[in-house]
Amino acid sequence: MFSRLLRSLPSAFTALALLCPVAIAQDGDADAPKGPLKLESTREKASYGIGYNIGMNISREGLDLDPQIIAAGIAAALKGEKAALKPEEIQAAMEELAEQKNAAKLAENQKFLDGNKAQKGVKVTKSGLQYLVVKEGDGPVPTAKSKVKTHYRGKLLNGTVFDQSYEGEAPADTDEPVSFGVTQVIKGWTEALQLMKTGSHYRLFIPSDLAYGTRGAGGAIGPNEVLIFEIHLLETADE
């Protein structure tokens, strides 16, 4: 059960559990080094690197954890000491923290979407998809049976670009477009493509339930992420 839980929680939890499988200490009296670190030996450098990577994972996940207690838990595990918490207590705490994080993310999403739909030119469909017509084309509108060729750029609410088919501000002749069936992509794309005339450029604001939902997609796309896409619909053909 515990291993299944770890697979379902953010990567930072997994990193902590791998290094500290026995426990998290009850107090914050970790034996932290005082003064500037001297990273001279291979052991010191490797130790610092592992700790830094754990911290980066936690930071990326936005988890509210106590660094002193993390250090105490790791130290206890490495010393072979008995866990200060039972496995079921650790599991319950991780589940609760994940629920808190998801609730905060959903609240952040809703705040953004509520504000965004009031922006000039933004339209909202019955599903909750939001879109802005940057440029209206004059070609055919794809159907569910169509195959399309597009250029696109996807980013998170914090501005992180997680995928793109072009590097500059706009697609260039040297950039390679991407082709796929209209129903072979996330729900938000499938719906939006069937609103677009070929030659159009739309900006999509896709709620998490029309994207990757509670599971996320690995890498930069975590659970419950709102995704923002620039989509340039270049060609449409019936399959």
Taking only the tens place, the pLDDT of each residue in 204-219 is 999 999 999 999 998 8
Q: Of 64, 81, 63, which Cα lies nearest the Cα of 72? A: 81
For the segment 116-123, the average pLDDT, to the nearest whole number, is: 98
Taking phi over 0 as left and psi of -120 to 50 as alpha, with beta for the rest, 218 belongs to left
* Cβ proximity of 151 and 166 under 8 Å: yes
Residue 69 has pLDDT above 60, yes or no: yes
CATH among 3.30.70.270, 3.40.228.10, 3.40.120.10, 3.10.50.40 for 117-238: 3.10.50.40
pLDDT (0 to 100) of residue 79: 93
Tell me what the pLDDT averaged over the chain comes to.
86
Contact 201, 126 (CB under 8 A): no
Q: What are the extents of the domains in the chain?
A: 2-105, 117-238
* pLDDT on residue 25: 39
Average of pLDDT values for 9-36? 47
Token reading at 67: 């660094």
pTM: 0.74
Greater pLDDT, 57 or 212: 212
Question: Residue 28 corresponds to which amino acid?
Answer: G
Beta strands in the chain (DSSP E): 122-124, 130-135, 146-155, 161-164, 178-181, 201-206, 227-238
pLDDT digits (tens, 9 = 90+) for 140-157: 999 999 999 999 999 999
Q: Residues 190-201: what's their mean pLDDT?
A: 98
